[in-house]
Structure formats: structure tokens, C-alpha cells
Amino acid sequence: MSYFVNEKGYYGDFGGAYIPEMLYPNVEELRQNYLQIIGDADFQQEFHYLLKNYVGRPSPLYLAKRLSERYNANIFLKREDLNHTGAHKINNTIGQILLAERLGKKRIIAETGAGQHGVATATVCALRGLECVIYMGEIDIERQAPNVARMKMLGATVVSAVSGSKTLKDATNEAMRDWINNPVDTHYIIGSVVGPHPYPDMVSIFQSVISEETKRQLMEQTGNDQPDYVLACVGGGSNAMGMFYHFLDDEKVKLVAVEAAGKGVSSGHSAATTFLGKEGVLHGSRSILMQTADGQVIEPYSVSAGLDYPGIGPQHAHLFKVGRAEYVSITDEESLEAGLLCTRLEGIIPAIESAHAIAHLEKMKFTGGENVVVCLSGRGDKDLDTYSKYFGF
Amino acid sequence: MNRITQLFKEKKNNILSIYYTAGYPGLGDTVAIAEALQKAGADMLEIGFPYSDPVADGPVIQATSKQALDNGMDLNLLFEQLKELRKNVTIPVLLMGYVNPVLQYGVENFCKACAAVGIDGCIVPDLPMVEYEEFYKDAFLENGLSNIFLVTPQTSVERIHKIDGLSNGFIYLLSASATTGKNLEVSDTTTTYFSRIAEMNLNNPTLIGFGINSKETFNKACKYANGGIIGTAFVKALHAGYLEENISEFMKEFTS
Ligand SMILES: Cc1ncc(COP(=O)(O)O)c(C=O)c1O
């Protein structure tokens, strides 16, 4: 069983490139060139140079002592929150900006939910001197204000997406419309493992540095590079795919993907895609998405802007369908409580997205001695407002 | 021979095709608009079935889709309404919409339902050519449906030939790579592109769409192709309660 993309752009039944003809030339240009460009020695050197000296990689793998005691297992946190700009998103934007430059693009567009991908994109655009336009849902602009200010300071134009649910899905629609209307010179930096082929594969390759480092660090710290469990939260699924990547073919490693249940899976206010979704096409690929019987996309809900998406990447849909990874869900409240717990036990304020992954530890049973890696995808600075309101600080 | 092929056989130029969204402005207006358009001189119709995330559409058609969904339109209801279509409408009629609702309806079922109510073809902008060939083509052909592909100024010559080979009806030329509702600006580059296509001697006739909103822009389309398609400008002219008047008024400019 292959867990990776085939030559047609599919993971099992999922993937493909369901795009209007207007996007075909750009997507096809990417498809024909991405592997060769990424494989280039010159690209690799520049990519790794920036990851090390600009982003601050490798990110630490930290054995969280007090969480470990609480859960009776060795809980390791993969500290993507310590990356420059505060989340894993920058691994992908560094990769894509280098690729865009090599394709001769002058203008960059991106969608963002929590604003982390928008900030990471605006950052690399400032770094390389490229024009940057970020689409963000009107509601997310309100709940992630610090990130909006950061993007503006970095020189990006932030465009408010006012259609539909005014969150990540709609920001993605607007970014796609922009790309349709600017068919030459523009590169669309998609922020997760979603979109038409080759995006899911390309983004997972850039994020795979997470599991590559984790294996090495586990070997150094424990003498064994095979953890028992690996956990990550899933919005579109990029930090999870980066965290899973080098463990996919090692069936002994159990993979756990944590979705946002919002107010509860059955509450009608949720973003738990694998529980509520059916197979379908959204944003250019065939995957699993939340939709009505008539194929209309259902507006998702989560307290966490980065997980507030009605679909998951096609590779996740495949891992779910064939059972390689377990998909679970965590409510708003559980995630906020886990965010506070992590803060009080370890002195680390996680992004609410990442707190979803931490929260699932509470539901797992350990016998002691298991090695468990949780991807701490981002830091919680952007979420202080939400935490403060909930806990009444 | 389906009605589309028949039309292009009988009429070589100035073909006027009109797009509108099913279930807009009123849920029950779908067939009435078709009848009024035929009466006012339209040669062909494209009925849009609404989708929640229409990425190829600009603000006007996004808004009609949203209104139609809010009104309660879905594919089941549309096919129910279209049972009345062929009572009076004799011109070719296509359905236009995004692939996900078709997938949920089931490709086979969708094609059969189209055939049963007298639909002649479909335009599904986000259905890729390879997927069409592999999974959709047989069902389309068995049900006598034309599949209409889009071509933009950025589409390569090689790909246009491939599209021509797979098409059976006409080819939809976009005036520019754009979402719907952008004004058609005929610059040197667009005329070069239109002429280039005209000189390719394609097997299929062509219609130019996206941004036609006046007699002048329609005439330009007719200069380079067999006719033009109007969408945004038409749906903008529709107001609940005055559909017949709106339609005959709108069509006067183009049929005079
Ligand atoms: C910190 C953080 N984690 C996770 C996500 C979810 O994205 P993905 O599933 O692609 O990792 C986001 C998205 O904004 C984020 O900011």
C-alpha cells in the first residue's frame, strides 16, 4: 500500500486537479517543475540554509516532564512554535517562495485562517522583495487581529473575504479567484496540504522536515527513532502531514490526527471533517468534506481559526480511508483546557490549534514507557484574547 | 443530432446564448425565464445550478447562486422543474455548474436526468479533461449530452487541439483568464488570440463568453467566433416580479 502520491496526482481515490481551465496553465507549470526544482542541489542548499539560519531549525524536541508524569508516558513536544513567525507554516512558505522565484513569479497571493500562514507568507515576501496579497475571512480578521497587524507591517495587502462563512474556506475561494484573474506572474502559496495536485505533495515535502528532525532527535535522546505514537492537529493537515511523513511507511508507529469538534461533533457547530464529511471535491481536489446531500459545502465551526475548514487534504482522506492513521476530534472547551494545562505544567502557551492535539492525550491509555510525540504546531500569542475571555484572566 | 449541433448547422453567426442561475430571483422562475428568453430571441440557454463555492465566478453570479441556494434550489428540484422545459422551449439548453453537486447526485444519474428533461449539454468548469475522459464521457455520450470545454488566452495550441478532439457541440472561448463579470476589453492581445483560434480551423464551432455586456461587445465576439454568451449582464437585469419586461427589454439591444 502506498501512502504517497501516484503519477496521476492521486492518493488512492483522492487528489487530482479539479480546476477550471483558467488555472490549468499555472498548475500544470508547477506540476511539471516542482520535483525537479526541489531536487536541485542549489534549491536544497538555499532551503536548508534559510531553515537553519532564518527560521531557527531544527526546532527542539522537548521531553515534557510534567505532562509525561500526568499521562504516564514519555511525552515529547516537537516545538514548531519556536520557529520564526511562531508556527510550522513557515517551512512551507520558505520552500514555495524559492520555487516561485525559480518560476519567475513576481507576485504572491495566499489565503489564511489563523493568520499564521498569512504572516509566514508576508514574511518570506518581505525577505525576497515580492509583492504580497493575503486573503482572510472577515471573521478571522476580527479574531486574529495581532496577525493582521503583523502582515500589514510586513508590507502585505490584507483583503477581507466577505462571502460565505467569512473564514478560511472563503479566503481560499478568493485567493483562487485572484489567481484566475492574474494568470501570469502570480504564484499562489497554498498554506496546507490541500488544493489541486501537486500542492498537497509539494507542501507535505516542505513540511516533512518536521518528522525528519524528529526521527533524528528521538534517536539522540532515546536511542530509538520509532515512537509509539505521533499526534498532530488537522485543519487542512499540513503540520500533521509533516509530522507523519517519515513515519508513514513504518506501520509500528501509530499516527493520530486530531480534528476540531467545535461545540461537539453532533452540535451543528463543528469542523470534524472525517466524522461529518463525505467524499467530494473542494478547492481543486477530491477528498472528504462536510457537505449537504446536494453537494453544497457546509460552513464549519471551531474556536480555532486554523482548524475552521470543511475539508482535509487528499492524503489525509486516503490515510483515513485505509486506516493508516486514526482520526479523532476535540471540542473547543477540551482544547482551551489543554492549552491552559500545557501552559501551567510546561510554561508553554500553545496555539489553540496545537492545543487540540495535546488535549487528546487525556483520552489515551498508556502503560508507561511509551514514546509519544505531539506536534506543537504553533504558539498561542495570537490566541491570548480567546484564552483570556474563556478563562477570565 | 442534438439541438446544439442542429443550431450550429443552421446558424453560423450571431448566435446568442444566455446564462442564468436556476432558482433566481425566485425559486420557481427557472422555466419561465427560459420561455421568455426563447420568445425574446435567444438561440441557446445555459442554466446554472448553484454551488456554495463558485470559484470561477465574480460577485454577481456568486450572489445569484447564494440567493438561489437560500431560496431552496438543488439538483433534485431543478430536474423536477425542468420536466416542464420542453413543453414550450425548443432551443438548445445546457446546464452549467460545478462538479461537486454532480458527484453527489451521481454522474450516471445526473446524465440520465438531463436526458430525461431534454437537456442537450453541460458546462462543468472544474471537471478536468482527464477525469472527463476516464469517468464521465461514456455517460455523457450515452445520454446524448455535449460536454463543453473552456479555452483561455493561456491555453496552449496543443491543448486546444486535444479539447477540440474531445468536444461535441462547441468550444467556449473565454475573452480573458478571468472570473465571470469582468468587462470584455478587446485589446491587441485578445484580438490576436481570437484570430489565432479562428485560424486553427477547429472541428467545433466557438462561442466567446465572459464580459459581454453590450451590443458592441457582442458584435466583437461575433466577428471572431460563431457568437457570444452573456451571463452577468443578463442576471443583473432580472428583478423579481418584472421578469418578462426585464427580459424583452434586455434582449432588444442584441436582437435588433
Ligand atoms: C498553529 C497552527 N496549527 C495548525 C494549523 C492548521 O493547519 P494545518 O492542518 O495545515 O497544519 C494552523 C493553521 O493556521 C496553525 O496556525
SS (H, E, C) chain B: CCHHHHHHHHCCCCEEEEEEECCCCCHHHHHHHHHHHHHCCCCEEEEECCCCCCCCCCHHHHHHHHHHHHHCCCHHHHHHHHHHHHHHCCCCEEEECCHHHHHHHCHHHHHHHHHHHCCCEEECCCCCHHHHHHHHHHHHHHCCCEECCEECCCCCHHHHHHHHHHCCCCEEEECCCCCCCCCCCCCHHHHHHHHHHHCCCCCCCEEEECCCCCHHHHHHHHHHCCEEEECHHHHHCCCCCCHHHHHHHHHHHHHC
Tell me, yes or no, whether A285 and A173 share the same domain.
no
Percent of chain B's residues with pLDDT above 90: 91
Residue B133 known to be catalytic: no
Q: For residue A201, how far is its CA from the centre of ligand 1 (angstroms)?
A: 17
Fill in the amino acid letter for B157: V
Say if A257 falls within a structural domain: yes
- Weakest mean pLDDT among A161-165, A219-223, B13-17, B20-24: A161-165
Rounded distance, CA A341 to CA A338, Å? 5
**Would A133 be classed as within a structural domain?**
yes
Number of domains in chain A: 2
Residue A15: inside a domain:
no
Our answer to whether residue A89 is catalytic in this structure is: yes
- Residue A218 Cα distances to A56, A221, A226, angstroms: 19, 5, 8
Based on the number of CB atoms within 10 Å of its own CB, is A60 exposed (0-12), middle (13-18) or buried (19 or more)?
A: middle
**pLDDT value at B188 more than 90:** no
> How large is the greatest C-alpha to C-alpha distance in chain A, in angstroms?
57
Helix A116-128 to helix A145-153 angle (10° resolution) is 10
A214: helix, strand or coil: helix
Pairing relationship of beta strands A61-63 and A325-331 according to DSSP bridges: unpaired
Put simply, the answer to whether A24 touches B155 (Cβ < 8 Å) is yes
Cα A110 to Cα B147: distance, rounded to the nearest angstrom? 32
Work out the number of other CB atoms within 10 angstroms of the CB of residue B141.
13
Residue B94 pLDDT class (50, 70, 90 cuts): very high
Predicted local distance difference test score (pLDDT) of residue A164: 77
Report residue B199's pLDDT band, with 50, 70 and 90 as the boundaries.
very high
Return the pLDDT at B189.
Answer: 80
Average pLDDT, chain B: 95
User: Are A157 and A284 found together in one domain?
Assistant: no
Report if residue A235 sits inside a domain.
yes
Answer yes or no: do A60 and A137 share one domain.
no
User: Does A109 map to a domain?
Assistant: yes
**Which residue numbers of B have CB closer than 8 Å to A's CBs?**
51-58, 62, 66, 69, 74-76, 98-105, 125-128, 130-131, 149-152, 154-156, 159, 174, 177-179, 182
Q: Which three cell numbers stand for residue A295?
A: 453537494
H helix and E strand count, chain A: 16, 14
Query: Mutating which of B55, B107, B154 best tests the A interface, going by the most A Cβ atoms within 10 A?
Result: B55
Cβ–Cβ pairs < 8 A, chains A and B: 105
Q: What share of chain B in percent tops pLDDT 70?
A: 99
Q: Which of B188, B198, B233 is nearest to B215 (CA)?
A: B233
Task: Tell me the pLDDT of chain A (393 aa) as tens digits.
Answer: 899 999 999 999 999 999 999 999 999 999 999 999 999 999 999 999 999 999 999 999 999 999 999 999 999 999 999 999 999 999 999 999 999 999 999 999 999 998 999 999 999 999 999 999 999 999 899 888 899 999 999 999 999 998 877 889 999 999 999 999 999 999 999 999 999 999 999 999 999 999 999 999 999 999 999 999 999 999 999 999 999 999 999 999 999 999 999 999 999 999 999 999 999 999 999 999 999 999 999 999 999 999 999 999 999 999 999 999 999 999 999 999 999 999 999 999 999 999 999 999 999 999 999 999 999 999 999 999 999 999 999
Shared-domain flag, residues A42 and A140? yes
DSSP track, A84-140? GGGBTHHHHHHHHHHHHHHTT--EEEEEESSSHHHHHHHHHHHHHT-EEEEEEEHHH
Enumerate the residues of chain B whose CB falls inside 8 A of the CB of residue A181: 177-179, 182
The amino acid sitting at B75 is L
- All domains in chain B, ordered by first residue: 14-255 (3.20.20.70)
How would you class A308 by CB atoms within 10 Å of its CB: exposed for 0-12, middle for 13-18, buried for 19 or more?
Answer: buried
Report CA B125 to chain centroid distance, whole Å. Answer: 10
Pair B152, B177: CB distance under 8 Å: yes
Q: Would you call A16 helix, strand, or coil by DSSP?
A: coil
| A215 and A361 part of one domain | yes
Q: Whose CA is nearest to atom 4 of ligand 1?
A: A353
User: pLDDT of B201-253, one tens digit each?
Assistant: 999 999 999 889 999 999 999 999 999 999 999 999 999 999 999 999 999 99
Whether residues A137 and A276 fall in one domain: no
Same domain, A82 and A156: no
Q: Is the domain of A228 the same as that of A332?
A: yes
Q: Are A304 and A159 in the same domain? A: no
Residues A308 and A368 in one domain: yes
Residue A6 lies in a domain: no
- For the question of whether the overall pTM of this predicted structure is more than 0.80, the answer is yes
DSSP classification of residue A299: P
Confidence class of residue B191 from pLDDT cuts 50, 70 and 90?
A: confident
Among A203, A221, A242, residue at a domain's last position: A203
Last residue of a domain, one of A173, A203, A233: A203
Who's near A10: CB < 8 A, 6+ residues apart? A16, A197, A286, A314
One domain, residues A240 and A220? yes
A310: containing domain: 56-87+208-391
Q: Which of A80, A123, A208, A238 to mutate to test the pocket of ligand 1 (most atoms within 8 A of CB)?
A: A238
3-state secondary structure of A266: coil
* Gap between the Cα atoms of B150 and A180, Å rounded: 13
Q: Where is the domain boundary, A188, A203, A218?
A: A203
CATH number of domain containing A130? 3.40.50.1100
Does A11 fall in a domain? no
Same domain, A73 and A186: no
Query: So what's the pLDDT on residue A320?
Result: 98
Any idea which of A156-170, A194-208, B3-17, B98-112 has the lowest mean pLDDT? Answer: A156-170
Q: Decide if pLDDT at B186 tops 80.
A: no
Q: Give residues with Cβ within 8 angstroms of B28, minimum separation 6.
A: B81
Asked, as a colleague might, if the bond just before B153 is cis with ω within 30 of 0, I would say no
Chain centroid to CA A280: how far? Answer: 20
* Largest separation between any pair of C-alpha atoms in chain B: 48
Average pLDDT over residues B61-86: 98
Burial category of B165 from C-beta neighbours within 10 Å (exposed 0-12, middle 13-18, buried 19 and up): exposed
Q: Which of A90-94, A265-269, B5-9, B191-195 is predicted with the least confidence, judged by mean pLDDT? A: B191-195
